[in-house]
Structure 1
Amino acid sequence: MSITNPFRNTRIEYHILQSFPVTCLNRDDVGAPKTAIVGGSTRARVSSQCWKRQVRLSMQDFGIKLGIRSKKVSEFVAKACLQKGASEEQAAECGKVISDSFSKDTLFFFSESEAQAFADYAREKNFDSKNLNDKEIRKVAKKALNPAIDGLDIALFGRMVAQATDLNIEAAASFSHAISTHKVSNEVEFFTALDDLAEEPGSAHMGSLEFNSATYYRYISLDLGQLWESIGGEHLAEAVESLTKALFVAVPSARQTTQSGASPWEFAKIFIRKGQRLQVPFETAVKAKDGGYLQPSITALTDYLTKKEALAGSLFGKEKEFTFGEDVNFSIDDLIKGLKLTVAEVQ
């Protein structure tokens, strides 16, 4: 990372508490809610990649043009070549050569600008696939990618290209697995379905599925220095805004039509700080108090962060702190405004 980077070793950390009633937000291979053992007790769990995908998809609702993650790079590039005058045969051949230079039967994260640049490069070579070479193709990709314009999600979530490591992009955002702050036991729902045209009483179908309910702790760290590097210092405040909004609204999509997990943030601590990342482990499961798990979870979260700040001293590196969920006059809009102002002051 450049020593002139104004956000070097600076990050935004989101510590979020979010309660859900009967849900199955993230299923394992047998359809049961995912779990993990933490501190000797079973906790509900939502994998980082599950929530991350919903955050990524939600960003387009806030004006962000997303990149494309697919194995069908060849078809996408071929379509761009067709639009620029290639025959179907030429387009298919050029698309395959270009695709194979990055990945063979693996997902590739790319932007529409890159696809258009690949097609322009193929046109310069008269759409003759024999004239295309890997070194030039990779140069085209490096020059064309501009995450500040399209593909901000590539800068946020990173890109690994095993066949062309010079195209790798370090992820600016780190997501933990969301875990319940308390012990959880999955439960089983037995259900039946009736046939509207049946002539005899009784169910036409019987089944069962597992669910749980939990107060989850989510930790997300946004490395502002890495993001600044990846997007060339452009539109950093807008990137922070869109990510924060997506973090606020995104909920995993599993079983939403039958269990409707539609619960927003209950409480959050957000820091802008330098130094080592700090995730709250909730190693000791909280016990229900004052009607539920939320209030003791808030207490455990704030106590842990306060203690670690005191112990870290100057190494804690806090530059700004925000609390969401206590003051009804401090909305998500106020949080975003505060984050953007702080970023602007550094720039």
Structure 2
Amino acid sequence: MTKNLYVDLSVLQTVPSSNINRDDTGAPKTALYGGVTRARVSSQSWKKAVRDEFKQDNVSAGTRTKQAANLLVAELKKLDASLDDKAALAKVTEIFKLAGIKIDAKKNNETGALLLVSRGQIAKLAQYAIDNEELDKKEVKQVLKGDQSLDLALFGRMVADNPELNVDASAQVAHAVSTHEVVPEYDYFTALDDEQPDDTTGAAMLGTIDFNSATLYRYANINMHELVHNLNVADAIKGTTDFIRDFLLSMPTGKQNTFANKTLPSYVMVTIRQDTPVNLVSAFENPVISNSGYVEPSITKLEAEYHRAQAYVDEPVANFVLGKSDSEIGVNVAKLSDLLARVTAELSEVVQDENTND
């Protein structure tokens, strides 16, 4: 696969009173855009939600941890019951030294920073250590670059101790922003002691919770060339549809029990391009103003921006819209399952053609 191939994902989703992604003061994150304050949900927050959704759906997902060395110790002992903690740790210490990753014996053998590793990498490292008395630096690094979980292949990995182990991300996720101005609000609450005497008055606890309500524009893209490089053709195509599904259905969990704000997207546009990804957030630089809901005018502005952007980019390979049955952009689909099937079929054809022409 040599040509560029990108999958753009534009989503409009309304979220009621909520605080799904907090700043250091506990208030919902915001951004100043187009001269007004917008609700904002950080890309890291939504990527974490997607990774959690992967695990719920039994999609290949790694673990981001400082405990990678201890995970490897446990895997070694599982494969060879004769190994005690000391012998297993000695093997692991040698492996991490060859990989160029520092571990701190004074801190329970933690790595200096969080390390995203796939379960397959841990298992293969353990098997390699069992099968080989003499360990080879090149082979250890090769194991740590292979068998990538989907989240590792999509979101990449940076290893400060050894940049050779870095994995280039094949997906980009934008900070979600509201299509309109938001006014921060707060809820003042009190709580009574159920066991307080009848003649006692006053609350046992009081406080405030910051929140806002918003219609969010969410955007992500996937570089299929890079994803195929990180995985393989079949896994990259399946991984793309897994990502689309779980990006649409996931929700960061901040204050979820307080607000029960789990909503679904109102509108989805998936565009497959061969020239460049296109974030259509500029549709909302001039904020939507409405007294009767933001979703419909947001859809109108988003589709208008899509048409405007076509003056700068090539005609896309394919375009699919879910949530607006009379959209004049691409193919309208009625269900998420139809959308995923269409994307799978289109990518299979395009990628197959490119591989045939290599």
- Normalising by structure 1, report the TM-score: 0.90
Structure 1 residue identity aligned to 2:316 = K
Matched, 1:140 2:143: yes
* Secondary structure at 1:234 match in 2: helix
* Secondary structure at 1:190 match in 2: strand
Matched, 1:338 2:342: yes
Distance in 2, matches of 1:223 and 1:253, equals 28
> Could you tell me how far 1:267 is from its partner in structure 2?
0.9
Choose the corresponding residue for 2:58, options 42, 57, 63.
Answer: 63
> Could you tell me how far 1:133 is from its partner in structure 2?
6.2
**What are the within-5 Å matches in structure 2 for residues 17-166 of structure 1?**
17-85=12-80, 86-99=83-96, 101-103=100-102, 104-126=111-133, 134-142=137-145, 145-147=146-148, 151-166=149-164
**8 Å Cα contact 1:189-1:211 kept in structure 2:** yes
**8 Å Cα contact 1:17-1:217 kept in structure 2:** yes
CA RMSD of aligned residues (A): 1.8
> Could you tell me how far 1:136 is from its partner in structure 2?
4.5
Distance in 1, matches of 2:141 and 2:238, equals 29
Assess, with a 3 A threshold, how the Cα gap between structure 1 residues 300 and 329 changes in structure 2: closer, same or farther.
closer
Distance in 2, matches of 1:122 and 1:267, equals 50
> Could you tell me how far 1:329 is from its partner in structure 2?
6.5
Distance in 2, matches of 1:63 and 1:254, equals 23
**8 Å Cα contact 2:174-2:218 kept in structure 1:** yes
Distance in 1, matches of 2:236 and 2:132, equals 37
Larger CA deviation: 235-244 vs 174-183 = 235-244
Distance in 2, matches of 1:138 and 1:321, equals 40
Distance in 2, matches of 1:140 and 1:50, equals 29
Distance in 2, matches of 1:173 and 1:140, equals 22
Distance in 1, matches of 2:290 and 2:96, equals 54
Larger CA deviation: 185-194 vs 101-110 = 101-110
Deviations 1:1-60 (A, max 9, x none): xxxx15x31111111000011001100011000001001111000000001110121123
* Secondary structure at 2:140 match in 1: helix
* Secondary structure at 2:234 match in 1: coil
Choose the corresponding residue for 2:188, options 187, 190, 201.
Answer: 190
Percent identity of paired positions between Structure 1 and Structure 2 = 32
Structure 1 residue identity aligned to 2:177 = I
Deviations 1:217-236 (A, max 9, x none): 00110111111111122333
Alignment partner, residue 265 of structure 2: 265
* Secondary structure at 2:233 match in 1: coil
* Secondary structure at 1:80 match in 2: helix
> Could you tell me how far 1:157 is from its partner in structure 2?
0.9
Assess, with a 3 A threshold, how the Cα gap between structure 1 residues 181 and 109 changes in structure 2: closer, same or farther.
same
For these two proteins, the number of residue pairs brought into alignment is: 329
Larger CA deviation: 104-113 vs 207-216 = 104-113
Distance in 2, matches of 1:136 and 1:338, equals 40
**8 Å Cα contact 1:102-1:108 kept in structure 2:** no
**8 Å Cα contact 1:182-1:215 kept in structure 2:** yes
* Secondary structure at 1:206 match in 2: strand
Distance in 1, matches of 2:275 and 2:165, equals 28
> Could you tell me how far 1:184 is from its partner in structure 2?
0.8
Distance in 2, matches of 1:121 and 1:294, equals 54
> Could you tell me how far 1:304 is from its partner in structure 2?
0.7
Structure 2 residue identity aligned to 1:330 = A
> Could you tell me how far 1:188 is from its partner in structure 2?
1.2
Structure 2 residue identity aligned to 1:288 = S
Distance in 1, matches of 2:274 and 2:210, equals 42
Deviations 1:222-273 (A, max 9, x none): 1111111111223333212211110121001000001011110001221111
> Could you tell me how far 1:139 is from its partner in structure 2?
3.3
> Could you tell me how far 1:141 is from its partner in structure 2?
2.4
Matched, 1:217 2:209: no
Assess, with a 3 A threshold, how the Cα gap between structure 1 residues 48 and 329 changes in structure 2: closer, same or farther.
closer
Larger CA deviation: 80-89 vs 42-51 = 80-89
**8 Å Cα contact 1:36-1:42 kept in structure 2:** yes
**8 Å Cα contact 1:158-1:170 kept in structure 2:** yes
Assess, with a 3 A threshold, how the Cα gap between structure 1 residues 288 and 105 changes in structure 2: closer, same or farther.
same
**8 Å Cα contact 2:153-2:227 kept in structure 1:** yes
Deviations 1:293-319 (A, max 9, x none): 11111111111111111x12xx32401
Alignment partner, residue 320 of structure 2: 322
